[in-house]
Amino acid sequence: MTPGTVCVVGSVNADTTLRVRALPGPGETVLAAHRHGSGGGKGANQAAAAAAAGARVALVAAVGDDEAGGAERAALEERGIDVSRVASVHDATGSAVVVVAEDGENLIVVHPGANAALDATSAAAAVAELRPAVLLGQLEVPLEALAAAARARGDGLFVLNPAPMTASPDGLDGLLELTDVLVPNRTELAALVGRPLPISPAEVRACLAALDCSADVVVTLGADGCLVRSGGVLTEVGARPADPVDTSGAGDVFCGVLAAGLANGQGLLPAVRRANELAALSTTSPGAQVPPGFFSSGVVH
């Protein structure tokens, strides 16, 4: 195991963000006041956050052999992320359209593109070579590749963010068995136990009790903070007050900072508290990826 190192197996997207007064309802057309292009994808976002939080980060991913793929790879490398294991495939780089309302709420539509081409053999080989302290994964790449990477991680921790929850929860059983720390939001937690939405704060606890998973579980609750289940003990972590500009990517910041803390030897609860604070702070800046150096001042470590 390589102390202090986080390996992210995940997606890379080219994002287009549209800012609107309010999110559109079904069948409704709204006009955007602003359009902005930026890097995205849950894997890239989490890698960027982990690097900004002080970890050594390597990314295992796939981009297209197009202009967007080259640009996203270069931008991540400029952040100090090891992109030598980001494959270039004959496909379009993944993309996403992010619609952000004035109150910071958002909706996101993703086209996987090259992310779907990440294969299990190369992912496992990359992780086995790196032997990271923490392997961090999400569900925007094939489950087979993620499971192979998790089996190849050696003594490191596997942190799984089960998002987006597009796969049947039944198909995640094998992946959950490999997981050391599971980080769902309340929607993903409900899906994992088959409970219909919406769920109240009290139902979050009921869902957590019903979740058959031996891993430590950290449920992110947005403005309500998070709930941690570890060793049979539940701990509430309160939210950091923030005046949100854009909540897209806040969950990815949480996961990246959490992985960085665990990789650098923090215990679960201290790492969760720091991740909770920096995720809230990230909502005060537009875009899904935090700018380099964004966490360098005015933050409790």
The residues, ordered by sequence, that sit 6+ positions from 198 with a Cβ below 8 Å of its Cβ are none
Residues 7-61 have pLDDT tens digits of 999 999 998 989 999 999 999 999 999 898 888 999 999 999 999 999 999 999 9
The CATH superfamily of 2-21+34-282 is Ribokinase (3.40.1190.20)
Q: Residue ranges per domain, the chain?
A: 2-21+34-282
H/E element, 275:
helix 268-282
Q: Give average pLDDT by consecutive 10-residue segment, the chain, 301 residues.
A: 91 93 93 90 96 95 96 95 97 93 85 96 97 97 96 97 80 92 96 89 91 95 92 90 77 96 97 94 78 62 39
- How would DSSP label each residue in 113-168? GGGGG--HHHHHHHHHHH-EEEEEE-SSS-HHHHHHHHHT-TTSEEEE---S--S-
Q: Are strands 106-111 and 94-100 parallel, antiparallel or unpaired?
A: antiparallel
Residues 243-277 have pLDDT tens digits of 777 777 899 999 999 999 999 999 999 999 999 99
pLDDT of residue 58: 98
Residue 248 β-bridge partners:
none
pLDDT of residue 2: 80
The model's pTM is: 0.91
Query: Contact 167/40 with Cβ under 8 angstroms?
Result: no
- How would DSSP label each residue in 122-135? HHHHHHHHH-EEEE
Query: Contact 256/42 with Cβ under 8 angstroms?
Result: no
Residue 170 annotated in active site: no
pLDDT of residue 167: 59
Catalytic residue, candidates 15, 82, 91, 252: 252
Classify 220 as helix, strand or coil: strand
Count, in order, helices (H) and strands (E) of the chain.
9, 13
